[in-house]
Amino acid sequence: MTAPQTAAPLRFGANYTPTRGWFHHWLDYDPAEVRADLESIAGLGLDHVRVFALWPVFQPNRALIRPRAVAQLLHLVDAAADCGLDVAVDALQGHLSSFDFLPAWTRTWHRRNLFTDPDAADGIEDYLRTLAGALAERPNFIGMTLGNEFDQFSGDPHPDPDRVDPAGAGAWLERMLKACEDAAPGRLHLHSEYDAAWYLDGHPFTPAHAVGLGPATTVHSWVFNGTAQRHGPAGAATLHHAEYLVELAAAWTDDPHRPVWLQEVGAPAPHIPAERAADFAEATVANAASCANLWGVTWWCSHDVDRALADFPELEYDLGLLTVDRRPKPLGRRLARIAEELRRERPAPAPRRTAVRFDPGDPATAPDRSVCAPGGPAFEAWARLAGAGVRAALVRADRAADPAHLRARGITEVVDA
């Protein structure tokens, strides 16, 4: 599978959260329960799932990648195919819903830096090659994502970070993406970061990495990052946050046709009250769909988390499109309708004649990227335009006076933040 073109129909899917045992289900894998979950997702008319291999379960020792775990992953992918679903697989979990899952061979007495230690890198590369190679012949396999927001291990505010500099982060990403490509050529092998990559000064994973490595860019849009707190659940900045991230990616890339996958977006309570979740989803998806380069939307998440499980942040329990009993929620029914409409007739991209100029400093490291964060001047200027009905772009300061760049993007007016 080659990188998708922007003229293709939009893809709509869900990040798969198993109803029985959450991601701990790998410890007690139940094929019947998994199939029932996947059938309920397909029942919403979605076309793909993103699934998460729990790293310590799959590779509990650096030299042991458990064949039974790999076989269970293949069963899940095949079951998804039976339900008409394509599958993207994340390997390094890594981090999920506030919990870290790292194998014992990387911690405490065996502490290895996840990004810079040669033995750790060798073990991770072997793991990625094994999963990608096993999946390579599955026709419904979209590709690997290295891990879910694995960059959060690389620096503050993580309580015990494995520090790396931007050059080291880039080298690590290149090596691991190559391992996936070597094992499963031509698939959509990607990496994902949380929004520190776009917003946090000094974060070692940078916008340049996000738009320069792999055949497409992923963005994760969560409005509990200060957006909803500042602008409220129905504010323009909140309803357009996903669109903003897609456009921010477009401002950074050298390829005007590079696809952007809205790989995570959800309606977290209380920032988005339950009674507003369906309206939030409709506005968020419609706004993101106005972007020329959007590949698709993968909602977080498929099913609610069982409240019998302890210690999750409150907002994590009720993010699902379906209940733990696999019943569609109003949010799920609304997303199903939106997906059907937009898949049937993809809207023409909105012209973006006006662009907000921002200056992140050195493009390689973006030392001042917080100008684009919620509360930052570029973010707030763009949000004001969105509130006034203007579909705006963004443009880096070093490109704002380049006629060829502006012409290629259709920009005729540049405004300062």
The per-residue DSSP string of 402-417 comes to: -HHHHHHHT--EEEE-
Q: Phi, psi at residue 99, to the nearest 5°?
A: -105, 140
State how far the Cα of 27 lies from the Cα of 21, in Å rounded to an integer. Answer: 9
Say if residues 3 and 188 touch (Cβ distance below 8 Å): yes
pLDDT at 8 (0 to 100): 84
Calculate the alpha carbon distances from 209 to 56, 252, 389, 396 in Å. 27, 10, 31, 16
**Every domain of the chain and the residues it spans:** 11-344, 354-416
- The CATH code of domain 11-344 reads 3.20.20.80
Consecutive H or E run containing 217: strand 217-221
Say if residues 136 and 184 touch (Cβ distance below 8 Å): yes
Calculate the alpha carbon distances from 208 to 57, 356, 363, 365 in Å. 32, 19, 7, 8
pLDDT at 7 (0 to 100): 61
Preceding peptide of 270 cis, ω within 30°? yes
Amino acid found at 235 = G
pLDDT tens profile 163-193? 999 999 999 999 999 999 999 999 999 999 9
Tens place of pLDDT per residue across the chain (417 aa): 344 444 689 999 999 999 999 999 999 999 999 999 999 999 999 999 999 999 999 999 999 999 999 999 999 999 999 999 999 999 999 899 999 999 999 999 999 999 999 999 999 999 999 999 999 999 999 999 999 999 999 999 999 999 999 999 999 999 999 999 999 999 999 999 999 999 999 999 999 999 999 999 999 999 999 999 999 999 999 999 999 999 999 999 999 999 999 999 999 999 999 999 999 999 999 999 999 999 999 999 999 999 999 999 999 999 999 999 999 999 999 999 999 999 988 989 999 999 999 999 999 999 999 999 999 999 999 999 999 999 999 999 999 999 999 999 999 999 998
State how far the Cα of 361 lies from the Cα of 24, in Å rounded to an integer. Answer: 43
Through-space distance between the first and last CA atoms of the chain, rounded to whole angstroms: 40
Rg, the chain, Cα only? 20
pLDDT tens profile 274-321? 999 999 999 999 999 999 999 999 999 999 999 999 999 999 999 999
Calculate the alpha carbon distances from 311 to 98, 302, 316 in Å. 9, 20, 10
Rounded to two decimals, the pTM is 0.96
State how far the Cα of 133 lies from the Cα of 111, in Å rounded to an integer. Answer: 28
pLDDT at 417 (0 to 100): 87
Say if residues 261 and 298 touch (Cβ distance below 8 Å): yes
Amino acid found at 118 = P
Consecutive H or E run containing 199: helix 196-199
* 232: number of Cβ within 10 Å: 15
* 257: number of Cβ within 10 Å: 12
Say if residues 288 and 246 touch (Cβ distance below 8 Å): yes
Residues whose CB falls within 8 Å of the CB of residue 393, separated by 6 or more in sequence, listed in order: 247, 250, 251, 352, 354, 355, 356, 409, 411
